[in-house]
Copies of this chain bind each other. A is one copy, B any other.
Amino acid sequence: MELKKQDLNVAIVGATGAVGGKILEKLVERQFPAKSIKMLASKRSAGSKIIVEGKNYIVEETVPESFEGIDIAFFSAGGSISQTFAHEAVKRGAIVIDNTSAFRMDADIPLVVPEVNADELNRHNGIIANPNCSTIQMVTALKAIKEKFGINRIIVSTYQAVSGAGAEAIEELSEQSLQMDSRTDIKAVLLPSASAEKHYPIAFNVIPQIDLFDESGYTLEELKMMNETKKIFADEKIAVAATCVRLPVVTGHSESVYIELNREDVSVEDIRSAIKTTPGVVIQDDPSSQLYPMPLYAEGKDEVFVGRIRKDPTQPTGFHMWIVSDNLLKGAALNSVQIAEELIK
């Protein structure tokens, strides 16, 4: 499917969500060649107004006919909405860039981080999947290391922000944060997952559950990181184990990542040099001046930040590092817009 390079008609499904709004902002900020941007959401949100750089966007209800004449449709309204409407959009000639987990592991649907596997875009059949936020920042940071030195194995523990669970989770953290002195009495209604049976406070707490559990004892979020990393790297043999954890942080996911290379002769300096070659990845790594990535400072930034790079004390192929990025930007909206940019290159 070829795409003309300007005057595109764009739709954003999930326009009122945390990520949908960021997609609109990024399209405007990066001067994406859109003739029109249609903001779509549920019937409940229809009629509401979104203002970006002085321009009004009126939200419309998502129906199959919404996609008539649309060239690119960004989906970020949950997996079931994508299941219902993505094929309707494709049928009407749109290319879908889907930010949910609905199609990510379908063998015939590309799962794309442009810095890592843009070539996969050549084989799409109308739908392109945007990976999970915690996966994107990790594979972007590790891509050049993998290419140059080979990576056998990844063990990652995440420190994830509440905005990954949507705008309501930010509200929940905001209210709970005022209750430090009565923290054990805090009422929770949303986290760890709206669809979970039990809810736990996130303020002054740490919840080692993101999304639901699989019968394996891993959560779906952990399995996403494990499976999506293999697909994006096109490497079934790479060993990936994840522990995914939610924290009282508004925006910005952090990751403590351990990797094992194929070779023993690699230095920290070699790792730094490799990482620097990936566009959009920034090294913040100078212990002597306390320079390392932190989510509070990554919020609102497009880059993936890497620091605390150091050799494992005993394993000669092993390295540890700390990777931080804005989960709503490179982890979601920005990556989706970058996919669209790549398509019209």
Q: Which residues of A contact B (CB under 8 A)?
A: 153, 155, 157, 159, 173-174, 177-178, 180-181, 183-184, 192, 196-198, 200-201, 203-209, 213, 216-219, 226, 239-241, 243, 245, 247-250, 252, 254, 256, 258, 268, 287-290, 292-297, 299, 307-315, 318, 320, 322, 324
Cβ 8 A contact of A240, one of B201, B217, B293, B313 = B313
**How many copies altogether?**
2
B312 and A241 form a contact (CB under 8 A): yes
State A287–B223 Cα separation when bound (angstroms): 15
Cβ 8 A contact of A292, one of B209, B293, B296 = B209
State A307–B219 Cα separation when bound (angstroms): 13
- Chain B CB within 10 A, most for which of A201, A254, A256, A292: A256
Smallest CB–CB gap between A224 and chain B, Å? 13
Q: A174-B180, A196-B290, A198-B290 are in contact. Are A243 and B205 (CB under 8 A)?
A: no
Q: A180-B177, A217-B308 are in contact. Are A207 and B287 (CB under 8 A)?
A: no
- Chain B CB within 10 A, most for which of A174, A249, A297, A324: A249
A313 and B204 form a contact (CB under 8 A): no
Cβ 8 A contact of A241, one of B209, B218, B241, B313 = B313
Top 9 nearest A-B pairs (CB, nearest first) are: A213-B287, A157-B256, A217-B310, A157-B157, A205-B296, A239-B314, A243-B256, A198-B290, A177-B177
A209 and B290 form a contact (CB under 8 A): yes
- Ordered by A's residue number, 18 sampled pairs between the chains whose C-beta atoms are within 8 Å are A155-B258, A157-B157, A159-B247, A173-B180, A177-B177, A177-B204, A184-B299, A204-B249, A206-B254, A208-B254, A208-B292, A208-B308, A213-B287, A217-B308, A239-B315, A241-B258, A241-B313, A243-B322
A310 and B216 form a contact (CB under 8 A): yes
Among residues of B, the one whose C-beta sits closest to the C-beta of A308 is: B208
B217 and A295 form a contact (CB under 8 A): no
Q: Which residues of B contact A293 (CB under 8 A)?
A: 208
State A181–B307 Cα separation when bound (angstroms): 27
State A256–B268 Cα separation when bound (angstroms): 24
Smallest CB–CB gap between A331 and chain B, Å? 15
State A335–B249 Cα separation when bound (angstroms): 31
State A295–B311 Cα separation when bound (angstroms): 30
Q: Which residues of B contact A181 (CB under 8 A)?
A: 174
Q: Which residues of B contact A201 (CB under 8 A)?
A: 296
State A208–B287 Cα separation when bound (angstroms): 11
State A7–B166 Cα separation when bound (angstroms): 59
State A311–B240 Cα separation when bound (angstroms): 12
